[in-house]
Every structure is written in C-alpha cells, then in structure tokens.
C-alpha cells in the first residue's frame, strides 16, 4: 500500500477519476473486475478523458476509439501512468 501511495504522490501516476478532461495516459493497474477487461480497460491500454460528470458522476474515456463510461468509484481504483 505504501508503494502505491508513493507512486500516486509522484505526478507520473494518477487514478482515472483524478484526470481532467483531455488528459490521457496508459492504464497501469486495474482492480479485478471482469467488466473492465470486456470494455477494453486493461494494463497497457491508452485512455483519454472525454468528460467527467459533476461530483460522483461517471468518467467517460476514449479507449481504442470507443467511448466508455466508468463509474466514478471504479475509476478511483484504476491507476493511470501519465
């Protein structure tokens, strides 16, 4: 856990929910949720944030030229390398 906190405190990493509209990066780590793999959200895939809803709404990302909607709480568990 300390290693993850150290990585996230470095500007090279962020969780998906922390990225701003237009920011992009490469998926570094994802929780073990089968749905994410079926949506194309896997380690090594490039993503770009298309939109974020207010407060606790979803994050919409572009991955492999597809728009994918990710629940904000789930996006908080996906680590992105900027």
Q: What is the pLDDT along the chain (82 residues), one digit of tens a residue?
A: 455 555 555 679 999 999 999 999 999 999 999 899 999 999 999 999 999 988 889 999 999 999 999 999 999 999 999 9
Cα separation, 7 vs 66, whole angstroms: 28
* Parallel/antiparallel/unpaired status of strands 66-70 and 46-52: unpaired
Which domain, by its residues, includes 34?
2-81
Report the number of distinct structural domains present in the chain: 1
pTM of the model: 0.85
Residue 22 is part of a domain; what is its CATH number? 2.30.30.90
> Which residue intervals of 1-82 are DSSP H helices?
2-9, 34-38, 72-75
pLDDT of residue 55: 81
């Amino acid at each position: 856990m300390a290693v993850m906190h150290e990585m996230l405190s470095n500007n090279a990493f962020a969780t998906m929910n922390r990225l701003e509209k237009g920011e992009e990066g490469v998926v570094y780590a994802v929780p073990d949720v089968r749905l994410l793999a079926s949506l194309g959200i896997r380690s090594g895939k490039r993503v770009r944030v298309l939109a974020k809803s207010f407060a606790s709404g979803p994050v919409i990302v572009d991955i492999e030229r597809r728009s994918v909607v990710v629940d904000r709480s789930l996006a908080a568990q996906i680590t992105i390398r900027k």
